[in-house]
Amino acid sequence: MSLTLRFAPSPTGYLHVGGARTAIFNWLIARQSGGKFLLRIEDTDKLRSTEESTQKILSSLKWLGLDWDGEVFFQSANQHRHLEVANLLLENGKAYRCFCTKEELEEKRRRAEELKLNQRYDGTCRNLTQQQIREKTNRGLPFAVRFKVPKGEVFFNDLIHGPMHVNNDTLDDFIIVRSDKTPVYQLAVVVDDHDMGVNLVLRGDDHISNTNKQILLYEALNWDVPGFGHLPLILGTDKQRLSKRHGAASVEEFRSMGIFSEALFNYLCLLGWSPGDDRELFTRDELIKRFSIDRINKTPAVFDPQKLLWMNAKYLAAKTADQLIPYLKPYLREKGYSAEELNDPRFLFLIELQKIRSKTLRELADNLQLFFSDPVEYEEKGVKKYFRKENSLTLLNELHEFFNEQSNGFFEDISAIETAIREFAEKRDLSAAKVIHPLRLALTGKTASPGIFELVYVVGKKKVLTRIQNAINYLKKLN
Ligand code: GLU
């Protein structure tokens, strides 16, 4: 049987990583089985749904590489069909009109609470006679439509959690159409999933109680019940449901941090699914081949931002400088750097040097700053260690003179730079480190950077001289 799966987000905010993982798992199964992956925007809650959110969700899904089959479905466009099915249920006696007012229901709820009774709907309108119903409708009284929960129990074999059942006695006669004639989620989902041909529903654990009700609707309509699997939640490191409080929680935020889409995809797959061995890095194609529902964990997964950064760093390091340029552009543009400079071979070389020292694209862009701009400040601990020595000023002056005497060609040859700097130190009876550290601080403002000889090449004669001169001026003011 060919599988049809779907992802059905409500457009009330960004795409949360939990939702993204649900989408990914559905997509993987669809692509693996040659089935379909459909997208339905559940926009029936007019107060909370926005077009902006829909666009953000679509953009995050595209960025993650999750393509859907056919057009996007919008749940609100199907209201007439939801109501048609509600009428069918009414006609078949599987649902009934409930004329209880909000105030009456509230009062019943309050009384039940006082008496510590269960707060389910008491069934007042369940057994109205046809005449009573006619009399009320003739008076134009508004009514909601309630589903008549039958006796018995709901059973389903959850593909992740195993057999599940619930006694129908514990379920309310739930509303399927509100008194303002808007269909309720439970009904809309069942009708849409049925009409779209969805035969496998994979969604979050928080929907288990909905599944019970939805199965009752499928049965009442004599429709085939799809397979169901419920994914355990994603928690933060404090074991609470992952949210903004834990830092980034949406796909959009990770994207803006400079996480690769492949890395987030890969990380989210391992969050709640295990490949069965120690391997951690997988391409999308490999995941399509290896993914299987029976290796989805039953227990909640903890989102570990450090692990994601680690994984992202692996993806970063695996790309060449040329491949990284298009990814880096937005971050460099944000910093105001022009695109022309990006073709400079020295810049590409710096990317190679810095990519292994960076975990995200944003961090890499920060680490490329030294190519574009002279340091405006110096690390305090570096100043203490390398700029406040007795010979610091002399050393910088001599370095300036030394570099000034070199030809432009010298700055193209990293091994010549190394030999010359070592000789420079030896001549003055200094260890190479005694020269390298202050020079690094002058060129970058930092105490840590890629190798100094490579750095002199990257920065080039003109900027080397400017930066040493700036450090000299800074030192003069210090003393
Ligand atoms: N729209 C629901 C949500 O965003 C999901 C519905 C479903 O997957 O059945 O939580």
Q: Dump pLDDT digits (tens) for 104-148.
A: 999 988 988 888 888 889 899 999 999 999 999 999 999 999 999
192 lines ligand 1 (CB under 6 A): no
With a 6 A CB cut-off, is 10 part of the ligand 1 pocket? yes
Contacts 24+ apart (CB under 8 A), 404-413: 404/465, 406/461, 408/461, 410/461, 411/456, 411/457, 411/460, 411/461, 411/464, 412/457, 413/457
* 42-51 tens-digit pLDDT: 999 889 999 9
pLDDT of residue 120: 87
Give this prediction's pTM. Answer: 0.93
* 215 and 221 Cβ atoms separated by less than 8 Å: no
**Which of the following CATH numbers is that of domain 244-315: 3.40.50.10330, 1.10.1160.10, 3.90.1170.20, 3.40.50.2300?**
1.10.1160.10
Residue 301 backbone phi and psi in degrees, to 5 = -105, 145
Ligand 1 probe mutation, 4, 54, 207, 230, most atoms within 8 A of CB: 207
According to the model, what pLDDT value does residue 339 have?
64
Alpha-carbon span 138 to 28, nearest angstrom? 53
Judge contact between 132 and 96, C-beta under 8 A: no
What pLDDT is attached to residue 180?
A: 95
Residue 212's pLDDT band (boundaries 50, 70, 90)? very high
Q: How confident is the model at residue 305 (pLDDT cuts 50, 70, 90)?
A: very high
**Spatial contact of 142 and 110, defined as CB atoms under 8 Å apart:** no
* The two structure tokens encoding residue 362: 């944003």
Res. 60 pLDDT band, cuts 50 70 90: very high
Sign of CA dihedral 424, 430, 378, 363: positive
pLDDT tops 70 at residue 479:
no
**Separation between Cα atoms, residue 443 and residue 455, nearest integer Å:** 8
Of the candidates 293, 302, 20, 5, which has an alpha carbon nearest to the alpha carbon of residue 160?
293
Residues 365, 371, 376, 379: is their CA dihedral positive or negative?
A: positive
Return the pLDDT at 478: 84
The tens digit of pLDDT for each residue in 331-372 reads 999 988 876 777 889 999 999 999 999 999 999 999 999 999
Active site residue 244: yes
Distance separating alpha carbons of residues 9 and 40, to the nearest angstrom: 7
- Please provide the CATH number assigned to the domain covering 380-478: 1.10.10.350
Pocket test for ligand 1, best of 5, 6, 10, 48 (most atoms within 8 A of CB): 10
Catalytic entry in 181, 244, 298, 427: 244
The answer, yes or no, to whether any atom of ligand 1 lies below 6 A from the CB of 196, is no
CATH for 72-186?
3.90.800.10
